[in-house]
Structure 1
Amino acid sequence: MLSLVARLVFTVFTVLLVLGLMAVALVTVLGLVLWSLLRGRKPVVDLSGFARARQFRPGGAARARPAGEVVDVEAREVPAVTPRLE
């Protein structure tokens, strides 16, 4: 019985926490939109990330295009410098 009550209390607190965080996010977004409108700037809504996510296919990026030209890098040895005490 005590376990059920504890689980119910934790569930209620979790729901309240999530709703509180969503309210803070909403107030922040509305505040930023109002601030930009007061300053005479049109609020910019960038939804391009959602468009890219909609077109995402797992494993598709590796097959989409070849890697291109491979360039060899010549390795150089960097001499170790002994620290000087001054």
Structure 2
Amino acid sequence: MSGLLTVVIRVLLGLFTLVLVLALVGVAIVTMIGLMIWSLLRGRKPVVDMARFRRAGKFRPGQSRRAEPAGEVVDVEAREVKSPLPRLDT
């Protein structure tokens, strides 16, 4: 009896999770469509940046790109720039 109850609870939790995920996807799609319609009504072309999705698809956790050398380091001389207007200290 205990095993059957455990299986029923797991199935119900799985179904609730599935419904929650589908509801969130639905909200995301409705929001995206609403924002596209809103931008069209305001006379602006909706921008869909697919390059960002492609870059995110290539990301692999744990892989880090090696930093490129910064090139030649140039030493600069620091100098104070005087303001032509007087400062107002409060």
TM-score by length of 2: 0.64
Structure 1: segments with no counterpart, 5+ residues: 72-86
Figure out how many residues of one structure are paired with residues of the other and give that number: 69
Structure 2: segments with no counterpart, 5+ residues: 76-90
> For 1:25-79, what per-residue CA distance to the aligned partner results, in whole angstroms no more than 9, with x for missing partners?
00000000000011111001112223334555723x21x62244498xxxxxxxx
Cα pair distance change 1:34/1:20, threshold 3 Å: same
Identity of aligned residues (%): 54
1:10 to 10, 13, 31: 13
CA distance in 1, matches of 2:41, 2:34: 10
Q: After the TM superposition, which segments of 4 or more aligned residues of structure 1 sit over 4 Å from their partners? A: 54-57
TM-score by length of 1: 0.66
The CA RMSD over aligned residues, in Å, is 2.5
1:40 to 40, 43, 55: 43
